[in-house]
Structure 1
Amino acid sequence: MDEFWAFAQHYWWAAFPLMAIAGGFARRWELGARSRHKRRLEILQAKAALKAATPPKQVAHATEPKPITKPSPIQPQLEKLFSEHDAVTARWLDYELDVAKLIAYPTISDGRQPLTAAFLRAKKTADRLRPASPKAQLTDQELAAYSGAVTDYEVAFDVAEREARRLKDSDFTDTERKRLQTAQRLLAVAVDSAATPAERQVAYKRVREELDGLIVVSDEAIVVLEEKVALPLDAGASRPTAD
């Protein structure tokens, strides 16, 4: 015990850099958690909007004929805008829910990238101005504002996507790029039906470890990945064994 206090007396100054390092890790973890939570909410909202936009299957029922109502003169325009809006959202979700694409083009989900941040702002504006339904009654100004927002949303995503495909992992350090490459190789094993169940499970866990702190992977993307890993596992479990 005396040796400990003697060490502490001579090297008390070492506590300050250690505290700074610990504080940096804590802040990084907190920012990552907030970012994942925020992105999860955005994905849930986007998926809900797409689901709501999908027309339900019509079931034939013997009902009284409904009177013919004249559609709103702007309804065709809104239907077209809704379709364009949903198409961009579907393209975005195609990245956000696919871990392989996030590894290949990590800046597409990095809000610190100026073009990605501009796209996310355009998305929020388009979502905010989107009417409740194509039958909504809008003023000319409201229709023009929503139309412009959808155009901005589409253009901003096109630009962010091209930039992400151009940059790939060039913004990362050599060590980080090696981690991304390792994660990419492990991901191929995790969803490979030819690998053993143990190999796929170990590969999946290693993918999570390699990506931790590098790119933001939403909870929904993890669920999709786990489903892909589970399918080969189930197939392997049901495969007959040789006597």
Structure 2
Amino acid sequence: MEPFFDFLGNFWWLAFPLFGVGAGAWNSLQAASRRRHKQKLELIRARAELRAAETGVILPPLPAKPEKKKQKQSEVTSGEKRPSTLERLFATHDEITARWLDYELDVAKMIAYPAMSDGRQPLTAAFLRAKRRADHLRPDGLDARITAEELREYREAVTDFEVAFDLAERDAKRLRDSEFTDAERKRLATAQRLLNIAVDEAATPAERQSAYRRVREELDGLIAVSDEAIETLEKKVMRELPRADDPKAARP
């Protein structure tokens, strides 16, 4: 035993780095446990929203943001310390929202990729949940005072939002109309053909109106078209034509 105690006497200082390694490993395990718990809660919420989308049940809103407390050392003023961070997050948030609106407001894209507008699709439901959280955590502006913790939560929410959209979009492009019956796919193809006529400036107003009405009939019961998408489509269909008293219209 004497050699062992001699070793301890000469290399007692090794206890400190070994203790540090052990403490670091313990902290890593704790952080991993917290992440798993958070992911489990998010999965539960995503499944709940999916079931709600299938049954038409409206989920309760997310809790309101806590009121800002008096400024502490942990607070950061976006205009002073982190302007580039918030600017980048806002830009990414707005970019993904714009990409999503391209599907929500474009009836042609709805027909081509119906899963992007179907809340019953698991990845679409997960994306909508991520969007809802990112919108909820978004600061009021670049000059808003937020804590370091709030900034971290918003950054994670924007990342989740971006990843969830990419996954939902990829899946929608993979699925296309594969989950519809043959008869339903024929209706979608007919709706797409009629839609091209409805927005064709070379077609007469009567042709565009007739095609527009038939598009609505073909999509009824197949795809839930938002009011905003209908309004956007109607504006395309009802493009202003030259007036009868317009000199250019009177030319032969």
Question: What's the TM-score, normalizing by structure 2?
Answer: 0.66
| Residue number in structure 2 paired with 1:141 | 149
| Residue number in structure 2 paired with 1:81 | 89
Report if aligned partners of 2:116, 2:169 keep a CA contact under 8 Å in 1. Answer: yes
Post-superposition offset of 1:241: 6.6
Correspondence 1:153-192 to 2 at 5 A: 153-192=161-200
Q: Deviations over 1:102-121 (max 9, x none)?
A: 11111101000000000000
Correspondence 1:57-76 to 2 at 5 A: 71-76=79-84
| Residue number in structure 2 paired with 1:221 | 229
Q: Deviations over 1:19-73 (max 9, x none)?
A: xxxxxxxxxxxx99x79xx9xxxxxxxxxxxxxxxxxxxxxxxxxxxxxx99320
Whole-angstrom distance in 2 between the partners of 1:126 and 1:70: 18
Equivalent residue letter for 1:141: E
Post-superposition offset of 1:75: 2.4
| Residue number in structure 2 paired with 1:102 | 110
| Residue number in structure 2 paired with 1:200 | 208
Post-superposition offset of 1:240: 3.6
Correspondence 1:9-20 to 2 at 5 A: none
Equivalent residue letter for 2:241: D
Whole-angstrom distance in 1 between the partners of 2:250 and 2:194: 26
Post-superposition offset of 1:199: 1.1
2:217 to 203, 209, 223: 209
1:125 aligns with 2:133: yes
Post-superposition offset of 1:216: 1.4
Whole-angstrom distance in 1 between the partners of 2:104 and 2:210: 23
- Secondary structure of residue in 2 paired with 1:93: helix
Whole-angstrom distance in 1 between the partners of 2:188 and 2:156: 37
Equivalent residue letter for 1:145: E
Equivalent residue letter for 1:215: I
Length, aligned pairs only? 180
Q: Which has the larger radius of gyration?
A: 2
Report if aligned partners of 1:196, 1:236 keep a CA contact under 8 Å in 2. Answer: no
Question: What's the TM-score, normalizing by structure 1?
Answer: 0.68
- Secondary structure of residue in 1 paired with 2:129: helix
Post-superposition offset of 1:211: 0.7
Structure 1 runs of 4+ with >2 Å offset: 69-72, 235-243
- Secondary structure of residue in 2 paired with 1:138: strand
Q: Which one is further off, 134-143 or 197-206?
A: 134-143
Q: Deviations over 1:79-124 (max 9, x none)?
A: 1111110000000001111111111111101000000000000000
Correspondence 1:227-242 to 2 at 5 A: 227-231=235-239, 234-235=241-242, 240=249
Report if aligned partners of 1:96, 1:102 keep a CA contact under 8 Å in 2. Answer: yes
Q: Deviations over 1:193-236 (max 9, x none)?
A: 221211111000000111111111111111110111111x6259
Report if aligned partners of 1:103, 1:180 keep a CA contact under 8 Å in 2. Answer: yes
Which ranges of structure 1 fall in alignment gaps of 5 or more residues? 1-30, 39-68
